[in-house]
Copies of this chain bind each other. A is one copy, B any other.
Amino acid sequence: VVSAGRERTATITDVARAARVSPATVSRVLNGTSEVSADRAERVRTAVVKLAYQPFSPARALRHQRTNVWAAIVADIENPFFTSVVRGIEDGAHERGYRVVLCNSDGDLAKEADYVDVAIAERMAGVVIAMASTRRSNLAPLLDRGIPVVAIDRRPARATVDCVVVDNRAGAAEATAHLIEVGARRIACITGPRGVSTATERLAGYRDALERAGMEVDGALVRREDFREAGGYDAVTALFGGRDRPDALFVANNQMTVGALHALHDRGIDVPGDVAIVGFDDAPWATLTRPQLSVVAQPTNEIGRVAAELLAGGGGGRARTVVLPPKLVIRQSSARPR
Contact = CB atoms under 8 A, between A and B. Distances in A.
A113 interface: no
A153 B102 CA distance: 21
A148 to B, nearest CB: 12
A123 interface: yes
At the interface, is chain A mostly helix, strand, loop or mixed? helix
Contact of A52 (B61, B87, B144, B284): B144
State the copy count for this chain: 2
Interface string A45-72: 0000000101111110110000100000
A158 interface: no
A288 B55 CA distance: 50
Contacts of A84: 78
Nearest to A86: B77
A54 B120 contact: yes
B59 A258 contact: no
A243 interface: no
Given A78-B84, A104-B87, A144-B5, A284 B229 contact: yes
A253 to B, nearest CB: 13
Contacts of A58: 57-59, 61-62, 67, 122-123
Contacts of A122: 57-58
Interface string A112-150: 000001101111000000000000000001011110000
Interface string A1-36: 000011001000000000000000000000000000
Nearest to A60: B58
B78 A78 contact: no
Which among A55, A62, A80 has the highest number of chain B CB atoms within 10 Å?
A: A62
A121 B90 contact: no
A238 interface: no
A102 B87 CA distance: 12
Contacts of A212: none
A87 B102 CA distance: 12
A55 B121 contact: yes
20 contacts: A6-B145, A9-B120, A9-B123, A9-B145, A52-B141, A54-B120, A56-B62, A56-B121, A56-B123, A58-B122, A77-B86, A80-B80, A99-B118, A101-B101, A102-B102, A255-B284, A258-B285, A262-B287, A262-B288, A288-B289
| Top 9 A-B residue pairs of the complex, sorted by shortest distance between their CB atoms | A290-B290, A58-B61, A58-B58, A102-B102, A285-B285, A57-B121, A288-B289, A6-B146, A5-B144
